[in-house]
């Protein structure tokens, strides 16, 4: 069996809910989507032809270095006139080594191999984002959002942006937020499926008041993807850029 064949079997197992992630739960659809891109865009092109039984630490290390060097960077067309951008770099390389290790652990559980050659490989440290907006930058952000509010079609998108700034939540957490996860009485978000599995996030009164306002014009599920599509986001960015001038 080649690494490419193992990767496709691993994808089938993920789709079937047989591969567990954090907390012992099946991987989330969003995680599976990203993993498929990493497997088919980076791992398979670089080591897919190698036999799983013959794979060595040197092979995985070379794959990592090739990804860092950008050898798998590409822009691919997708359905509906879209495109998929494959990025290389240290962060992508580190994640692909981790995913290769997970795939080989699956192979061990299936009796295909006995040892995981991806374990123990020194991965590059991903860049930690520790940049925070200053008070002046937050004021400027508020001013730009107020300027963008002149376009009524952007009201929901701007509300979402304000919520991100007020809560510090990840973008995906806000996009997929459900009203059942908002605890208005206790001023917190009770996220059912965040990156760290279930999570409680205390939020302040301004965020609660904003959520109450947004709920008045919302349907059952509070999702950015249903109220502000990419075109709206581009228009918001343009309006904010014009506000800087």
pLDDT per residue as tens digits for the range 209-235: 999 988 887 655 555 445 444 444 444
Q: For the chain, what is the domain count?
A: 2
pLDDT at 238 over 70: no
Residues 105 and 139 placed together within one structural domain of the fold: no
pLDDT at 138 over 90: no
pLDDT at 52 over 90: yes
Mean pLDDT of 38-48: 97
Which of 197, 193, 173 lies closest to 22, judged by CA? 197
In angstroms, the Cα distances linking 156 to 50, 190, 223 are: 49, 22, 10
Alpha-carbon span 53 to 85, nearest angstrom:
31
Domain boundary residue, one of 93, 109, 125: 109
Q: What CATH number is attached to the domain comprising 41?
A: 1.10.150
Residue-wise pLDDT tens digits, 87-125: 889 999 999 999 999 999 999 999 999 999 999 999 987
| C-alpha angle 18-24-29 in degrees, rounded to nearest 5 | 55
Residue 118 lies in a domain: no
Alpha-carbon span 167 to 235, nearest angstrom:
23
Q: Which two tokens stand for residue 201?
A: 């996030």
* Count of CB atoms situated within 10 Å of the CB of 105: 15
Residues 173 and 207 placed together within one structural domain of the fold: yes
This prediction has a pTM of: 0.68
């Amino acid at each position: 069996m080649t690494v490419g064949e193992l990767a496709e079997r691993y994808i089938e197992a993920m789709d079937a809910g047989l591969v567990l992630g954090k907390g012992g739960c099946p991987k989330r659809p969003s995680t599976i989507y990203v993993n498929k891109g990493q497997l088919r865009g980076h791992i398979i092109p670089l080591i897919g032809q190698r036999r799983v039984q013959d794979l060595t630490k040197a092979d995985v290390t070379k794959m990592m270095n090739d990804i860092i060097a950008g050898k798998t960077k590409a822009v691919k067309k997708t359905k509906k006139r879209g495109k998929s951008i494959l990025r290389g770099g240290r962060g992508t390389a580190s994640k692909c080594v981790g995913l290769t290790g997970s795939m080989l652990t699956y192979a061990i559980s299936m009796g295909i191999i006995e040892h995981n050659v991806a374990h123990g490989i020194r991965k590059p440290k991903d860049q930690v984002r520790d940049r925070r907006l200053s008070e002046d930058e937050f004021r400027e952000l508020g001013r730009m959002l107020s300027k963008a509010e002149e376009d009524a079609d952007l009201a929901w998108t701007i509300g979402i942006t304000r919520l991100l700034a007020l809560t510090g939540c990840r973008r995906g957490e806000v996009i997929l937020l459900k009203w059942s996860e908002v605890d208005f009485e206790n001023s917190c978000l009770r996220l059912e499926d965040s990156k760290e599995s279930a999570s409680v996030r205390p939020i302040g009164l301004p965020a609660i008041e904003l959520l109450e306002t947004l709920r008045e014009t919302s349907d059952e599920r509070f999702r950015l993807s249903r109220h502000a599509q990419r075109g709206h986001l581009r228009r918001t960015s343009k309006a904010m850029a014009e506000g800087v001038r």
